[in-house]
Amino acid sequence: MKIHEYQARQLFRQYAIPVPDDVLCYTAGEVEKAARDFNRMVVVKAQVLVGGRGKAGGVKLAKTVDEAVIAANKILGMDIKGFKVEKVLVADAVEINKEFYVGLTIDRNTKSVLFMASTEGGVEIEEVAKENPAAILKIPIDTDLGMTDFQARKIAFKLFSDINLVKQAVEIFKKLYKLFIENDASLVEINPLVITDKNRVMAIDGKMTFDDNALFRQIDIEALNEPDEDEKKEIAAKDKGLTYIRLDGNIGCMVNGAGLAMATMDVIKYFGGNPANFLDIGGSSSPQKVVDAMNLLMSDKHVKVIMINIFGGITRCDDVARGLVTALDQMKVTIPIVIRLSGTNAEEGLRIISDYNLPTVNSLSEAAQEAIRLCNLVN
Ligand code: GDP
Ligand code: MN
C-alpha cells in the first residue's frame, strides 16, 4: 500500500524528522487562502501516487499568492502518468543549497533492511541506479541490532563534510529507520533530502510503501489508504472471497484456483488475446460467488467477452452452473460468454446451463480461441 506525499510528511513530523509546513488543498480557492496565510514563497505540489511529478509539471514554486493560484489551476485536474490530480499540497518553500537521496527498503538477498543514500538527489533514483549505480551508497542493516550510530555516521560523513550537517543527518537517518520498522514499511524514501540556505537538513518529499500483509496490525497506516477505482474493486472483491486484479485487455476471465487462472491468461495470450483481469473464484465455489464474479466482470466496461474456465475438483461444476444461471436471471448480460466446465459434476453443470443457449467448449485452448473470435467480432 502506497501513501501520498502529504501523508508521508505527517509521518515524518510524528517522528520529528524536519519537514516544512504545508496545507492540503482541493480547490484553487483553498490554495489562495493557504498561500496568503504563508505570506512568502510556497511550492504547489500535485498529490498523486506516482513519482516524477516535478518533471511532469506537477510541482511549481510560487512567489506570490497570484502565482500560487495560477499554479493550482494548472495542476488541479492535470493527468500525471495516468493519475488525475484531485488535490495539491501547498508547502512552505525552502531555499535549497543541495539535494540528496535517502531511502530504506527490504533487500531479500541479504535478508536485511537496505539503507541507501546518494548525493544525486532530486532526480528519480531509478535513473541514477541505471546510469550511475556507483553513486548510490548501500549499507545492509541487521534488524536484530537496528541502525547503529556507526552506520548512520558512515553514510552521513559520505554525504556531508560539515559536522553540523552530519549531526542533523544522523538523527534523521535513525528516525527514518525507526519509522520504517515500527510501521512495517517496505520502502521509505526522502528524495530530496536538502540542505537549506540556513544550513538545515530537511525532507521536502516523501515516498512510502507499506507491507499489505502487515496492515492488520497497522491500523493507523491502513486508515491512510486512498485506493483508486481499480483498487476499490479489488478490495470489494476480496471481501466477497474473490481474488481479482484488473488488467488491460478485454476478455473477462472467471476461473477457479490461482494456478489455473494464470494458465488461462497464458493461453489467452498464446492465441493472441488479452485478458481483462485475473479472477480466482476460489475452491468450493458457492453459486453466490459466481453471481458476485459475474457482477464484477460486467462492471468493467472493457470486458467484451466473458470466458469461464472451471476445472472441478473441490469446486463442483454444477454449483458454478447454478451460480451462473442465477446471475443470468438477475442481470442483463449483453456480451457473449464462453464456458468450459470440466471435472467434478461437469455433466450436471452442462445440463443446467444447456437451456441458456451458451456456447460450451471442451478444452481450455478451444475456450480461449472462441473467446478471442467473439471478441474480434465485437470490435
Ligand atoms: P517529485 O518530482 O515527484 O519527486 O517531487 P519533489 O517533491 O521531489 O519535487 C521535485 C523538485 O522540485 C525537487 O527536487 C526540488 O528541486 C523542487 N522543489 C520542491 N520543493 C521545493 C522547495 O521548497 N524549494 C525549492 N527551491 N525547490 C523545491
Ligand atoms: Mn521527489
Report the separation in Å between the CA atom of 47 and the middle of ligand 1, taken as the mean of its atom positions: 13
Beta bridge partners of 1: none
Please name which ligand lies nearest the alpha carbon of 202.
1
- Active-site residue among 99, 189, 234, 370? 189
- C-alpha distance across the termini of the chain, in Å: 36
In which region does residue 368 sit, left (phi positive, over 0), alpha (psi from -120 to 50) or beta (all else)?
Answer: alpha
Total residue count of the chain as it appears in this document: 379
Note the pTM of the prediction, 2 decimals: 0.79
Strand order in the sheet with 305-312: 243-246, 277-280, 251-255, 305-312, 337-343
Choose among 378, 375, 339, 376: nearest CA to 356. Answer: 339
Four-residue CA torsion sign, 210, 212, 217, 222: positive
Q: How far is CA 133 from CA 1, 130, 138, 366, in A?
A: 27, 6, 10, 48
- Per-residue pLDDT of the chain (379 residues), as tens digits, is 999 999 999 999 999 999 999 999 999 999 999 999 999 999 999 999 988 999 999 999 999 999 999 999 999 999 998 889 999 999 999 999 999 999 999 999 989 999 999 999 988 888 898 999 999 999 999 999 999 999 999 999 999 999 999 999 999 999 999 999 999 999 999 999 999 999 999 999 999 999 999 999 999 999 999 988 788 888 889 899 999 999 989 999 999 999 999 999 999 999 999 999 999 998 766 788 888 999 999 999 899 999 999 998 888 999 989 999 998 888 888 899 999 999 999 999 999 998 787 878 989 999 999 999 999 998 6
Q: Can you read off the three cell numbers belonging to residue 283?
A: 475452491
Q: With a 6 A CB cut-off, is 52 part of the ligand 1 pocket?
A: yes
Q: With a 6 A CB cut-off, is 43 part of the ligand 1 pocket?
A: yes
Q: Closest ligand 1 atom to the C-alpha of 93?
A: 23
Which pLDDT value is given to residue 359? 78
Q: Is the separation of the CB atoms in 354 and 317 below 8 Å?
A: no
* Best residue among 41, 96, 127 to mutate for probing ligand 1, ranked by most atoms within 8 Å of CB: 96
Active site residue 226: no
Active site residue 120: no
Q: Which CATH architecture has domain 96-222?
A: 2-Layer Sandwich (3.30)
Q: Is the separation of the CB atoms in 152 and 173 below 8 Å?
A: yes
Which pLDDT value is given to residue 284? 66
In which region does residue 16 sit, left (phi positive, over 0), alpha (psi from -120 to 50) or beta (all else)?
Answer: left
Choose among 243, 180, 244: nearest CA to 214. Answer: 180
Q: Is the separation of the CB atoms in 243 and 280 below 8 Å?
A: yes
Fold assignment, 229-374: Rossmann fold (3.40.50)
How many whole angstroms separate alpha carbon 99 and alpha carbon 118? 9
Helix, strand, coil abundance in the chain, percent, nearest 5:
40, 25, 30
Q: Where in the chain is the domain with CATH 3.30.1490.20?
A: 21-92
* DSSP for residue 154: H
CATH class of the domain whose range is 21-92: alpha beta
Q: Is the separation of the CB atoms in 338 and 305 below 8 Å?
A: yes
Q: Where in the chain is the domain with CATH 3.40.50.261?
A: 229-374
Report the separation in Å between the CA atom of 372 and the middle of ligand 2, taken as the mean of its atom positions: 43
- Identify the residue whose C-alpha is closest to ligand 1 atom 11: 54
- DSSP reduced 3-state for 137: strand
How many whole angstroms separate alpha carbon 117 and alpha carbon 89? 26
Please name which ligand lies nearest the alpha carbon of 100.
1
My answer on whether omega of the bond before 227 falls inside 30° of 0, hence cis, is: no
| 8 phi/psi in degrees, rounded to 5 | -60, -40
